[in-house]
Homo-oligomer: A and B are copies of this chain.
């Protein structure tokens, strides 16, 4: 038995068989949806990550390599993960935590050099547990010089659920980062979706505040962290299939996506999500 390096790659073979999933989905009225979930890797092994890419790359908008885990992992494993995502056409983004630490330790240049060298597409910036002394424009410029895109995370990790004033300030902060060149904004919910951002201490979802972000920025710009089943289902129930979710665990990605398409038993009764037979006709006519 010889040691081998495994590298999965997108299959170029034609599909086997006579009946296909895509045709069936069209028949039952499932609408076409472009990738609208950004899953995250909080420390999976490289093989598991590659398996998920093989299975679900077409559903991933951008893959987050989460927290500082990738910096202390075996560097070959980290590079392998980023390369695998690229092979499957999925962009990658590092999380906001290591960015904040880099700024606090006075090493932002070195951090961005490392991110660019590892090959990620984008970095997330934020002020979740630190204060940022640098202006947005300067940070974005430093990233762009290294070929890196920028997204910004709105919200504090340790300040509890939002109040109306906080929402106002975050929307203003988001605008500032967009003006400076950031591409997207992320609304913080941590790993719990409890006592943080849009979710109170019991995990209740504040739909009014969520609407304010959505109407201020639109679904192409604003992503909502949805780290667990209740937050995922509440956001999809409220907004329908267009909402862009992030921080979804890889093994939960398919469940989120069947919910988004009304194919989960809890989603099928929701008229915003349920597949419609009239869609069939429309798609056939197209």
In this assembly, does A98 line the interface, its C-beta being within 8 Å of a C-beta of chain B? Answer: yes
Closest chain-B Cβ to A191's Cβ sits at a distance in Å of 8
Complex-state Cα separation, A110 to B19, whole angstroms? 8
List, sorted by A's number, 8 A–B pairs whose CB atoms are closer than 8 Å. A21-B71, A21-B75, A24-B107, A24-B110, A43-B253, A58-B74, A72-B254, A101-B275
Q: Which residues in window 63-81 of A have CB below 8 A to B?
A: 67-79
Closest chain-B Cβ to A107's Cβ sits at a distance in Å of 5
Closest chain-B Cβ to A278's Cβ sits at a distance in Å of 11
In this assembly, does A141 line the interface, its C-beta being within 8 Å of a C-beta of chain B? Answer: no
In this assembly, does A42 line the interface, its C-beta being within 8 Å of a C-beta of chain B? Answer: yes
Give every chain B residue within 8 A of A55 (Cβ-Cβ): 45-46, 73-74, 77
Closest to A128 in B: B265
In this assembly, does A261 line the interface, its C-beta being within 8 Å of a C-beta of chain B? Answer: yes
In this assembly, does A34 line the interface, its C-beta being within 8 Å of a C-beta of chain B? Answer: no
Stretch of A10-18, A169-177, A205-213, A234-242 lying at the B interface = A10-18
Identical chains in the assembly: 3
In this assembly, does A163 line the interface, its C-beta being within 8 Å of a C-beta of chain B? Answer: no
- Asked whether, in the complex, the Cβ of A68 is within 8 Å of the Cβ of B98, the reply is no
Complex-state Cα separation, A2 to B69, whole angstroms? 27
Closest chain-B Cβ to A98's Cβ sits at a distance in Å of 7
In this assembly, does A132 line the interface, its C-beta being within 8 Å of a C-beta of chain B? Answer: no
Asked, given contacts A47-B50, A107-B28, A255-B42, whether A117 binds B18 with beta carbons under 8 Å apart, the answer is yes
For chain A, which range describes its interface: under 10, 10 to 19, 20 to 34, or 35 or more residues? 35 or more
Residues of A bordering B, CB below 8 Å: 1-9, 11, 13, 15-25, 27-29, 42-48, 50-52, 54-59, 67-79, 97-98, 100-102, 104-107, 110-111, 113-114, 116-118, 128-130, 157, 250-255, 257-258, 261, 263-266, 268-269, 275, 277
Give every chain B residue within 8 A of A9 (Cβ-Cβ): 3
Give every chain B residue within 8 A of A257 (Cβ-Cβ): 69, 72
A15-B76, A21-B72, A69-B255 given; name 14 further pairs at CB < 8 Å. Answer: A3-B7, A4-B7, A11-B76, A19-B114, A20-B114, A28-B107, A28-B110, A42-B254, A56-B73, A68-B261, A68-B264, A72-B261, A100-B265, A100-B268
